[in-house]
Structure 1
């Protein structure tokens, strides 16, 4: 596909739906951005400016059309200590360095690491995020005026029933407008956006971070920036994968890494905090019909218009309307089929999914949950592959030679099985180890082979290794010891 076709597809193939979806997302970004600013210990405008700048920039630089990036909880929780100990200027500097690391990740093509995230981890990530989104709405459901529940119910009814009548306009947008109108007409006293925090009244301005350019500053910034970059990329790439599946379209993961870096650097230069992709708002966007980059740009631009030009109108929007939208997101995001499949799926897959969910919900840290899931997936996979290897043996008619046949994959998890399969106490003249149906993957496997050969030789046996494939032979030549002990080398043919 040539450049003009790509531009047409990403920007102009779905103008009406992209625009309307972007309007919905802009409204949904406001309470999140303000809340994440509080988590990070900064003024609400820092999160709002970040959401505007990141959304506008990532629309052009990102690798996943229709994905929404802004200030997020995953990055906000990592900023608290830096802001508390060193101030907001150090946060801006760390965010710029965060962007540099993300661009380096793109140059190193680290986006391909997503292939190591199993479907069970992805499902656990999605389910945990749905639970966290719902939990974030609980303060708006506890100790609030009774009318709040009525407005939330009205909003949910519109969101789920309107699509049965028409899909011309995204139902979440209609729900926000109708709930706001009902609250205003009937004078219902409920929390509004104005109660969430002070909204900015001016455009963000360009400025470099006011920090000393010293090695001490770099020492302070480096750990925070690295962590921010890693967590931001992890959440962004996972969200991109989820949208790939939802829309049945591909994304460029390495471009997304670079795009996140550029967007975060721009955010810091215009007085914003660092951020990454937001699965909740991205799901709202796609569920509202968005498919192109235009939706992300509209979300950022309209959010800025709301903050600066339509602040008085924005201030009267009931939080209940936005809560209804976020409850819808949590319900739609959760993979309900995964519950029914817990009994039919293989036990390791279910354990990985539940462990990912449990870790995320317990720590409120998506990165830790995914890390636990990936590690468990690796352990289960290693155990499964290890069970596919086996060693059998036959004794020659004259009783002087035993031939051991090694089959399968030999690596750290199955190396122990290889060592234990040999009876070196047996009175023999010669041992043949046939590895023609095996592959040696790592130094643990080579070490296991060394132990068998050297122990057998120490007992006076003649040992011959046959059938090594080219890759395994190279490993033996580089790391093996049994052909370097001064005795006759084992043959490899």
Structure 2
């Protein structure tokens, strides 16, 4: 029996029961998601410090592969807002070629994680850490967009939080009224544009029907088209995609082989781990959100990781950036009626068609409009209400959430998650150690030379101190210390060592140790560790009552 997870894409299940009605619904959902994805792909790429076409090519190639090979019926993959800060920092520090190499290496790591069935491990990351770094990334995304939102003439924006604050504070007097107006209008449109799924159903009122028809068009697209038309018609003095990047190529991306070498790969360990970690967390969180929105079969986390891996291996060869599952587009897919991976593949193909037909029009898109859209994305990404609820939770929860948030903002995601996990482990160890108890037990008819103690919880390395001091509490005339372990759930090697040390100390004092009511796990470790042999047949009893009857009978 193999320990590897089989490569079985969810799309293969379509061969069983895929109807014409589902196919039509998937095409409609895919076209809707493609329209939503276009402005986001462009905005994410520009905010990440790369060319806009790199975001579009990522949405096309990675989006198609993730849907084709993934383990979810409805998840949509592509460039994600959570990656903006990560990509920008890696691009600034290591350069674009090394960013592409790190993405390829991260893809290999993601595929390996899925192959080794490690998809479930991502679920063990505490929710406080996820909320902390998600809110931190949202703050950094919002901060990074102020430059274009305000129309500031800043040639090179730093990647770190304090550097960005310092540069923005130096240039705030250079605010462009036109850029601020365009950006603010886009924010208002995206926030206030009516949502189809929030409307009343069944109404035949003309106004309601018209409103519902208009709401079929995403607010991001309305904002982008409106801002572009306004800037072009009124010749507003704002920076556009054309003035900064020269436009978007009208055609397919070309294949290019990054210069991959072992010396380069060694320098990219941290960026690789960061991309892989964030990609795994984001994709599986998104898939879990999608599972809760539909009654379709739940996603396969290991297959999803393998699909993410393949997508991130292939996409950089065409200039693409890291990709993962995206919550906004996945939810849009579900709301639009998508029920199979076909919708995700149609979304990628529709983006490709838009690039082939309408790419020249992108030169007029104002960067302030994209910045406004991303400000809304950052706001929606953050779970700000969790800060208000912190007072209802324990000190460890508050410490981990706030610590992860601050470290994400001030340092980076990798440091934040590492420290957050360390804090979570420390608090967990402390909590588990407080749950372990040793309490004296009073039994009728107990001999004066016998003392009984009952153990509760788990005897592990964080709780051994409560056992190490028992020998000092056993004073003459006591000759036998009985430990009732019926409530002892588990024991580790440190706990075993503590019991062995207790047995030796008591033996030197002329006293005996008896264990009663061992559960399977402690009994197995005590047997394998040699303590059972040291105690002998009389030192291991099935339960406390049996031992008491035997001791009373021997006393008679």
Q: Which residue does the alignment assign to 1:76?
A: 87
Aligned counterpart in structure 1 of residue 437 of structure 2, from 390, 396, 401? 390
Q: Distance in 2 between matches of 1:327 and 1:426?
A: 70
Residues 275-314 of structure 1 mapped to structure 2, 5 A cutoff? 275-277=322-324, 279=326, 282=329, 285=332, 289=336, 291=338, 293=341, 296-297=344-345, 300-314=348-362
Residues 48-67 of structure 1 mapped to structure 2, 5 A cutoff? 49-64=57-72, 65-67=74-76
How far the C-alpha of 1:188 sits from its partner, in A, is 1.2
Q: In 2 relative to 1, CA 211–361 (structure 1 residues): closer, same or farther, beyond 3 Å?
A: closer
Answer yes or no: is the 8 Å Cα contact 1:66–1:291 preserved in 2: no
How far the C-alpha of 1:20 sits from its partner, in A, is 2.3
Q: Which residue does the alignment assign to 2:202?
A: none
Q: Which residue does the alignment assign to 2:504?
A: 454
Q: Which residue does the alignment assign to 1:420?
A: 469
How far the C-alpha of 1:402 sits from its partner, in A, is 0.5
Moved more, 449-458 or 15-24: 15-24
Q: Which residue does the alignment assign to 2:280?
A: 233
Structure 2 residue matching 1:275: 3-state secondary structure: coil
Structure with the greater alpha carbon radius of gyration: 2
Answer yes or no: is the 8 Å Cα contact 1:21–1:288 preserved in 2: no
Q: In 2 relative to 1, CA 77–185 (structure 1 residues): closer, same or farther, beyond 3 Å?
A: closer
1:263-315: CA deviations, max 9, x gaps? 122213x3325513265764785698575545644554455455554232011
Q: In 2 relative to 1, CA 394–93 (structure 1 residues): closer, same or farther, beyond 3 Å?
A: closer
Q: TM (normalized to structure 2)? A: 0.75
How far the C-alpha of 1:258 sits from its partner, in A, is 0.4
How far the C-alpha of 1:48 sits from its partner, in A, is 5.3
Q: What is the count of residue pairs matched by the alignment?
A: 481
How far the C-alpha of 1:435 sits from its partner, in A, is 0.6
Structure 2 residue matching 1:426: 3-state secondary structure: coil
How far the C-alpha of 1:380 sits from its partner, in A, is 2.5
Structure 2 residue matching 1:205: 3-state secondary structure: coil
Q: Which residue does the alignment assign to 1:27?
A: 39
Moved more, 103-112 or 26-35: 26-35
Answer yes or no: is the 8 Å Cα contact 1:52–1:70 preserved in 2: no
How far the C-alpha of 1:113 sits from its partner, in A, is 0.4
Q: Which residue does the alignment assign to 2:185?
A: 154
Q: In 2 relative to 1, CA 44–115 (structure 1 residues): closer, same or farther, beyond 3 Å?
A: closer
Structure 2 residue matching 1:387: 3-state secondary structure: helix
Moved more, 387-396 or 109-118: 387-396
Answer yes or no: is the 8 Å Cα contact 2:149–2:367 preserved in 1: no
Q: Which residue does the alignment assign to 1:345?
A: 393
1:132-174: CA deviations, max 9, x gaps? 2212212123434101121122222222322174332212211
Does residue 113 in structure 1 map to residue 121 in structure 2?
yes
Q: TM (normalized to structure 1)? A: 0.84
Does residue 259 in structure 1 map to residue 307 in structure 2?
yes
Q: In 2 relative to 1, CA 285–278 (structure 1 residues): closer, same or farther, beyond 3 Å?
A: same
Structure 1 residue matching 2:147: 3-state secondary structure: helix
Residue ranges of structure 2 left out of the alignment (5+ in a row)? 1-9, 153-174, 196-210, 543-556
Answer yes or no: is the 8 Å Cα contact 1:10–1:294 preserved in 2: no
How far the C-alpha of 1:474 sits from its partner, in A, is 0.8
Q: Distance in 2 between matches of 1:133 and 1:248?
A: 33
Residues 67-146 of structure 1 mapped to structure 2, 5 A cutoff? 67-70=76-79, 72-73=83-84, 76=87, 80=91, 88=97, 95-142=103-150, 143=152, 144-146=175-177
Moved more, 337-346 or 306-315: 306-315
Q: Which residue does the alignment assign to 1:445?
A: 495
Q: Distance in 2 between matches of 1:197 and 1:379?
A: 49
Residues 188-199 of structure 1 mapped to structure 2, 5 A cutoff? 188-198=236-246, 199=248
Q: In 2 relative to 1, CA 151–486 (structure 1 residues): closer, same or farther, beyond 3 Å?
A: closer
Q: In 2 relative to 1, CA 150–160 (structure 1 residues): closer, same or farther, beyond 3 Å?
A: same
Q: Distance in 1 between matches of 2:335 and 2:274?
A: 33
Q: In 2 relative to 1, CA 185–328 (structure 1 residues): closer, same or farther, beyond 3 Å?
A: same
Q: Which residue does the alignment assign to 1:411?
A: 460
Q: Which residue does the alignment assign to 1:332?
A: 380
Answer yes or no: is the 8 Å Cα contact 2:47–2:144 preserved in 1: no
